[in-house]
Amino acid sequence: MNQLAKDTQSKQIAAARLGIGGPVGSGKTAMVERLIPVLMARGIDIAVITNDLVTAEDAERVRRSGLIDPARVSAVEAGACPHTVIREDPTLNIEAADELERRFPGVELILIESGGDNLASTFSRDLTDFWMFVIDVAGGDDIPRKRGPGVIRSDLLVINKTDLAPHVGVNLPKMHEEALKVREGRPVLLTNCRKGEGIDAVVDLIEREVLFRR
């Protein structure tokens, strides 16, 4: 048998992969920026991948934030297909995550931020172990009722920008209740990423459901 047929032991994939999706402007990058310091403060070794739609702006924003070693942030271009790069063909994201694991042995959690998309956006289970979908109150309180796959099938639904609710005529308790109803009781958390409100609850859930720490 030639040398090519020899198998070698592959390195075990150690890091959990957490997808963050949601519509344009719902606060996905702000969520990443809020999660990074809390995760790091809790001793969790992390890296980040962003899927910007037309520029590397999100990746640069996270790199320049001072929150994380810029080398731990990778940008993956989506070729104008934000759905495809996280669902039908997530290979480039998988390779980017594998590469981060190779470069940073011991990384425990890789955050994969999707490009801004619509309510039909979902993550491949081959890419992520857990994914959250971020919507915001300013997008309208009817979003949960529209029952898009992102709202229904995500492991965690986050309703962000709660502080804006009174300014955009949204009944937040009702929106929360409807979200829980369409998701049949699966997690729905409220955040205000601008002020960091609700982030600890998101990280608690990540520690419990993704890292099995709590």
Binding site for other proteins (CB under 8 A): 2-8, 10, 53-56, 76-81, 84-85, 88-92, 94-95, 98, 102
By C-beta, is 102 or 167 nearer to other proteins?
Answer: 102
Report the nearest approach of other proteins to the CB of residue 98 (Å).
7
Report the nearest approach of other proteins to the CB of residue 116 (Å).
13
Q: How many CA atoms lie within 13 A of 5 on its CB side?
A: 2
Q: Residue 46 belongs to what H/E stretch?
A: strand 46-50
* Nearest residue to 123 via CA among 87, 152, 90: 87
Report the nearest approach of other proteins to the CB of residue 186 (Å).
28
Residue 191 in contact with residue 22, Cβ under 8 Å?
no
Contacts of 50 (CB under 8 A, 6+ apart): 29, 32, 56, 58, 59, 62, 73, 74, 75, 76, 113
By C-beta, is 92 or 201 nearer to other proteins?
Answer: 92
Report the nearest approach of other proteins to the CB of residue 27 (Å).
22
By C-beta, is 11 or 208 nearer to other proteins?
Answer: 11
DSSP state of 181: H
